[in-house]
């Protein structure tokens, strides 16, 4: 069976870390200059590993195996949040690369076909899970016309600046593949909590984003009596407080909700905000409960509008990803490899984070492997995983990929 | 007595409006390129009116009369809020200019000395009421080292870019002056409400700004269980809601409070905010009540820290302006002029907005005149006052200035 080279893996992870490094963290948002540099570096690494590699028309780095037979597709993402950690999805992409290299070095596996992808914009700088959605045909190019980053750059402009405009797009040809497998850091506290080193993912929670706008009357903060104010900011903080109360009252064991961004306009000390905006995101493995959460938000919008001073409106159509189950058979292969290299030190668990595997699961049997996140911290500069866990995870992953493909023979 | 030229006045107001015009509003923040252009234009206008005019080392436009004897200082400001109205303080500066021109055209007043000032940065782009505080010696240059705009530009850098560095500063020589008088739009609803066209200001409310910071733990919005979160944004909205409750419970008839700005960091949909910040401003004519408000904010900070998850700290030392009374004798002159030109259509009233007159009142007898604001709206593009009220206000103002100076003879 394949034997991965832990030093080579960690060296490459450290190398990729230098693209956009910021202290212990990394700032490498999709299609930024440094992100494109890192993609060109990745194409070179894939090519050296024998893959036919290129960056496609949306920014995804795709390395295709030249070996015959059904292939297994390994992927994740190398883009980061505005203030991201060094591993996150990067780990899964480098696991794929190291798996390909280890396979080539072992007689048993050298002719197995493994493709590796780094899906563009999983973090949603322009459009969440963009690369995997495009590959799986879950978005048409028309859906992307409105896509733009927080600073107003449109996706189309970013693709043009990155020199990707007009390049061909990689599309999923299901017949080519036996399955899709993805590794990622857990991003949560559970593995550490349970003293386990490997997580085999049973399913991925769904995610919904709601954007709520408040329209009041901008006015002078000194001369406008309290009784005559239509303060969009005051309406927003009351609304947000109610959201936390109501969601807490109806939450399931693993429900989470976050108001990650708030904006008051014009945002000056001595002006009553005339407009305000917040983003509410919530996640749950239970789609029915997420429907109920959405109803609660509608009720709170009605409740706020009933006061009649500030006009509140919500948009719940934005970024939604449905919960997805992982393939049971693939989980069996991951469990066997985990039990072999870390007896008793693995567990089955749901993923509370959204992943590209959610999209791939709609067109291919899919599975995910997790390694522990120190302190459960991620999407932050402090994010980290021990070298031992990084190397163990890759060996388990490579073994599972091999046994899936060999079983298919 | 002087007869002002209403057409000339409105023409100049419309001319000044073109500097930074944006729809019906104006964007002309202190020391911006367009603000400096408008200041050079104003120097030219003052010079044509016979004043010895220049821009001083802090950005204030100062026009000194060449006439002998005690002078009356007229001032206000031509800088605007990030989204400002076309009149605001600009009205008072142009009243001063028109008063000088009208005086020169009447035998009785042609040798009276009237200085006119456009104080820099009344709106606090860098430092609230900067020009009048500097003129009155209420700030030393050392106090300005920390001053910077929302985008991080320091005041010193802005002065350098504007070419003002090293220029002499205008300083108040109290012996030169009989008094200070300032006209401004009311910025509130009371004159319109009471169907009056002139307001004679009795006193100006005090203002306090408190900045409150929240330090939690930035983390992943999907994988961090609610029970383990240290969400700075959630702490902020709870705190802000409590501020509105507690202030409402302890407010006086004319107390006002505003949370004009909120920031969550990093401000992304799928990241739990690790840091958050808000600005709370409150105003009252009663200094003792403002002290009690400050104590209430301290209690809320303690209350929030008691939960132990997010560290909350406040800074109440920032921009404070004490309440100030207007000079009774000067009010008498304004009342007489108002009664002459608008019998029964004027009223005495406090100012709920902060004005440069607050600083001048500490070194000279000071007074203010208000004209109505349509719908009580200001610090917004919709801000407006009828041409009739603009012209009437200027005639009343000029008469009062004349009678104050003539009485001194």
How far B127 CA lies from chain A's nearest CA (Å)? 12
Contact B222 A376 (CB under 8 A): no
Q: How far apart are CA A293 and CA A71, in angstroms?
A: 40
Any chain B CB within 8 A of the CB of A221? yes
Most B-contacting residue of A25, A205, A223 (CB-CB within 10 A), to test interface = A223
pLDDT for B198-225, tens place per residue? 999 999 999 999 999 999 999 989 889 9
For the stretch B249-284, pLDDT in tens is 999 988 999 999 999 999 999 899 999 999 999 999
The arithmetic mean of pLDDT across residues B134-141, rounded, is: 90
For the cut 70, the answer to whether the pLDDT of residue A39 exceeds it is yes
Determine the residue of chain A that is closest to B253 in CA distance. A225
Mean pLDDT score, A93-99: 98
Q: Quick one: average pLDDT of B345-370?
A: 95
Residue B119: per-residue pLDDT: 98
Residue of A204, A270, A319, A376 to mutate for B, most B C-beta atoms under 10 A: A270
Contact A283 B189 (CB under 8 A): no
B234 contacts in chain A (CB < 8 Å): 244, 259
Per-residue pLDDT, A372: 97
Six-digit token string for B249: 């419970």
Give tens-digit pLDDT for B147-159. Answer: 999 889 999 999 9
Q: What is the mean pLDDT of residues A301-321?
A: 90
Percentage of chain B surpassing pLDDT 70? 100
- B321 preceded by a cis bond (ω within 30 of 0): no
pLDDT, averaged across chain B:
95
What pLDDT shows up at residue A378?
A: 87
Contacts of A219 in chain B (CB under 8 A): 376-380
> Hey, are the CB atoms on A380 and B124 less than 8 Å from each other?
no
Q: Which of B190, B237, B283, B384 to mutate to test the interface with A (most CBs of A within 10 A)?
A: B237
Residue B347 has pLDDT above 80, yes or no: yes
B11-34 average pLDDT score: 97
Whether the pLDDT of residue B319 is over 70: the answer is: no
Mean pLDDT of A24-31: 96
Q: Which of B218, B256, B263 sits opposite A221 (nearest CB)?
A: B256
Chain B neighbors of A123, CB-CB under 8 A: 270
**Shortest distance, CA B104 to any CA of chain A (angstroms):** 36
Q: What is the largest CA-CA distance in chain B?
A: 81
* CB–CB contact B281 A270 (8 Å): yes
Q: Is A260 on the interface with B (CB under 8 A)?
A: yes
How far does B320 lie from chain A, in Å, by closest CA?
A: 12
Task: Determine the residue of chain A that is closest to B318 in CA distance.
Answer: A269
**Residue B329: CB atoms within 10 Å:** 12
Interface test with chain B among A229, A258, A282, A324, by most B beta carbons within 10 Å: A258
Assign A147 a pLDDT band (cuts: 50, 70, 90).
very high
* pLDDT at res. B389: 98
- Residue B89 near residue B38 (C-beta atoms within 8 A): no
Averaged confidence pLDDT in chain A: 95
User: B223–A260: do the CB atoms touch at under 8 Å?
Assistant: no
**Do A138 and A131 meet the contact criterion of CB atoms below 8 Å apart?**
no
Average pLDDT for A51-63? 98
Which residues in chain B have their CB less than 8 angstroms from residue A254's CB?
225
Is the confidence at residue A98, as pLDDT, over 90? yes
**B197: Cβ contacts below 8 Å, ≥ 6 apart:** B191, B342, B345, B346, B371, B372, B389, B392, B393
Distance from CA of B260 to the nearest CA of A (A): 5
Query: B331 pLDDT exceeds 80?
Result: yes
User: What is the percentage of chain A residues whose pLDDT exceeds 70?
Assistant: 100
Residue B129 near chain A (CB below 8 Å): no
Lowest mean pLDDT among A85-99, A139-153, A225-239, B21-35: A139-153
* CB contacts, 8 Å: A377 with chain B: 217, 219-220
Is there a contact between A268 and B380 if contact means CB atoms under 8 Å apart? no
- Residue of A221, A267, A379 with shortest CB distance to B220: A379
What's the confidence (pLDDT) of residue A160? Answer: 97
Over range A136-164, report the average pLDDT: 92
Inter-residue contact A327 to A179 (CB < 8 Å):
yes
Whether chain A has a CB inside 8 Å of the CB on B80: the answer is: no
Query: What SS3 state is found at B288?
Result: helix
Averaged pLDDT for residues A78-102? 97
Among candidates A186, A240, A271 on the partner chain, residue whose Cβ is nearest the Cβ of B260:
A271
Q: Under an 8 A CB cutoff, do B81 and A271 touch?
A: yes
Chain A, window 108-127: residues with a beta carbon less than 8 angstroms from a chain B beta carbon: 123-124
- Residue A211 tokens read as 């954007």
Domains and CATH numbers, chain B: 6-205+323-407 (3.40.630.10), 215-316 (3.30.70.360)
- A83 chain-B contacts, CB cut-off 8 A: 218, 266, 271
Is the pLDDT score of A9 beyond 70?
A: yes
Fill in the DSSP letter of residue A263.
E
B chain contacts of residue A376, beta-carbon cutoff 8 Å: 219, 223-224, 228
- pLDDT at A318 > cutoff 70: no
Touching check for A284 and chain B: CB below 8 Å?
Answer: no
Cβ under 8 Å to A: B residues 326-365: 351-354
Burial of residue A281, with CB atoms counted within 10 A of its CB: 0-12 exposed, 13-18 middle, 19 or more buried: buried
DSSP character string of B30-92: TTSHHHHHHHHHHHHHHHHTT-EEEE-TTS-EEEE--S-S-EEEEEE-----TTB-SSTTHHH
pLDDT of the residue at A319: 65
Question: Per residue in B106-119, pLDDT tens?
Answer: 999 999 999 999 99
Long-range interactions of A16-20: CB distance < 8 A, separation 24+: A16/A41, A16/A42, A16/A78, A16/A90, A16/A94, A17/A86, A17/A90, A20/A80
- Burial bucket for residue B5 (CB in 10 Å: 0-12, 13-18, 19+): middle
Question: Is A260 in Cβ contact with B237 (below 8 Å)?
Answer: no
Q: What are phi and psi of B264, to 5 degrees?
A: -110, 140
- pLDDT tens digit string along A326-344? 999 999 999 999 999 999 9
pLDDT band at A320 (very low <50, low <70, confident <90, very high): confident
Q: How far is B323 from chain A (nearest CA, A)?
A: 13
3-state secondary structure at position B266: coil
pLDDT tens across A156-165, in order?
A: 999 999 999 9
Residues 261..280 of B with a Cβ closer than 8 Å to A: which?
A: 261-264, 266-274, 279
The B residues from 2 to 41 touching A (CB cutoff 8 Å) are: none
Nearest beta carbon to residue B234 from set A83, A238, A259: A259
């Amino acid at each position: 069976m394949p034997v991965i080279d832990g030093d080579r893996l960690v060296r490459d992870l450290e190398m990729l870390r230098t693209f956009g490094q910021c202290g212990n963290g990394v700032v490498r948002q999709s299609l930024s200059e440094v992100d494109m540099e890192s993609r060109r570096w990745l194409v070179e690494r894939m090519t050296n590993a024998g893959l036919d590699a290129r960056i496609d028309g949306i920014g995804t780095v795709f390395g295709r195996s030249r070996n015959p037979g059904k292939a297994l597709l390994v992927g994740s993402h190398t883009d980061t949040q505005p203030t991201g950690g060094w591993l996150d999805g990067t780990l899964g992409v480098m696991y794929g690369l190291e798996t390909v290299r280890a396979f080539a070095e072992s007689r048993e596996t050298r002719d197995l076909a493994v493709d590796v992808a780094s899906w563009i914009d999983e973090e949603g700088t322009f459009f969440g899970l963009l690369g995997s959605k495009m590959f799986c045909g879950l978005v048409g190019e028309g859906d992307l016309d409105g896509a733009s980053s927080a600073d107003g750059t449109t996706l189309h402009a970013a693709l043009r600046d990155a020199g990707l405009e007009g390049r061909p797009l990689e599309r999923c040809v299901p017949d080519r593949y036996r399955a899709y497998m993805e590794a990622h850091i857990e991003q949560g506290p559970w593995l550490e909590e349970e003293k386990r080193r490997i997580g085999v993912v049973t399913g991925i929670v769904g995610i919904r984003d709601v954007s709520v706008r408040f329209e009041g009357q901008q006015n002078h903060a000194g001369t406008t009596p309290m009784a005559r104010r239509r303060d969009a900011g005051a309406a927003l903080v009351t609304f947000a407080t109610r959201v936390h109360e109501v969601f807490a009252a109806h939450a399931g064991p693993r429900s989470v909700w976050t108001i990650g961004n708030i904006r008051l306009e014009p945002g000056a000390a001595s002006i009553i905000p005339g407009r305000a905006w917040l983003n509410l995101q919530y996640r749950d493995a239970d789609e029915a409960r997420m429907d109920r959460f959405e109803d609660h938000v509608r009720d709170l919008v009605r409740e706020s509008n009933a006061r009649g001073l500030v006009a509140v409106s919500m948009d719940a159509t934005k970024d939604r990803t449905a919960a997805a189950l992982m393939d049971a058979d693939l989980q069996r292969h991951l469990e066997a490899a985990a039990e072999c290299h870390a007896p008793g030190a693995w567990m089955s668990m749901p993923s509370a984070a959204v992943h590209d595997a959610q999209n791939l699961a709609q067109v291919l049997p899919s599975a995910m492997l997790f390694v522990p996140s120190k302190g459960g911290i991620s999407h932050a500069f402090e994010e980290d995983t021990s070298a031992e866990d990084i190397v163990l995870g890759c060996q388990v992953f490579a073994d599972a990929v091999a046994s899936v493909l060999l079983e298919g023979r």
